[in-house]
Amino acid sequence: MSETIIIQNQNFVLHPLGGIFWEEKSMLLISDVHLGKIAHFRKFGAAVPQKAMHKNYLLLDKIVSEFNPFQICFLGDLFHSSLNKEWELFENWVAKTPSEIILVSGNHDIISPLKFEQVGIPIFQELILDDFLLTHHPEERNGLFNFCGHIHPAIKLKGFGRQNLRLSCFFKSKNQLIFPAFGEFTGTYTLKPKKGDEVFVIVENEVVKV
């Protein structure tokens, strides 16, 4: 189950797969997919099943089919490292996806921009749309609300006894929202909310405000 929030009089749907749909723009925002990471690890001997490589594309297909966005904006770290054999899977996915795709560059996006241009994906260092600043790394800019990734946020919740649960989340402060990592093969970084912060955890295919 998704959660809809309003920021700057705009409607945003937080999806349990980790993306956000901007209704007024018909834009799907996704961060930190890290495609190619599994192929990268397998190349160096990690015992990761090859079939895991396809999971991210299945998840991308699922969230795209739910919203049918006009545009998909990846907020950095779309591809994990240098070119590997997963690039062909990515090209095939782009070719069959009807939405326009753009990329805000992240620190892991080291593949030549020419390769992205060849499949019709423009790359930006940042984007400003209305009163929103779209970046990979968290930024602060007067008068703008920042959507970003990079951190792979999670929070710890305490249960009865000594139980601790760490959950991936959307982490919202006054002028910023940090996206969870979309990729299946990514870690997380635990953040501690301060007064005024809002946290939306992802648990059992639901987005829940805590």
On whether residue 11 sits in a domain, the answer given is yes
On whether residue 41 sits in a domain, the answer given is yes
Enter the DSSP assignment of 35. B
The total number of structural domains in the chain stands at: 1
- Residue 165 is predicted with a pLDDT of 85
Contacting residues for 117 by C-beta, under 8 A, at least 6 apart: 123
On whether residue 33 sits in a domain, the answer given is yes
Which of 196, 193, 198 is CA-nearest to residue 208? 198
- Residue 84 is predicted with a pLDDT of 75
Q: Which residues lie across from 101 on neighbouring strands?
A: 72
On whether residue 88 sits in a domain, the answer given is yes
On whether residue 10 sits in a domain, the answer given is yes
On whether residue 157 sits in a domain, the answer given is no
On whether residue 174 sits in a domain, the answer given is no
* Rounded mean pLDDT for each run of 10 residues along the chain, 210 residues in total: 97 98 98 77 52 83 98 93 81 96 93 93 97 98 97 86 84 98 84 96 94
CA distance 10 to 123: 25
On whether residue 30 sits in a domain, the answer given is yes
CATH of the domain at 113: 3.60.21
What pTM was estimated for this model as a whole?
Answer: 0.92
Q: What is the DSSP string of 120-133?
A: T--EES-EEETTEE
Structural domain boundaries enclosing 107: 3-149
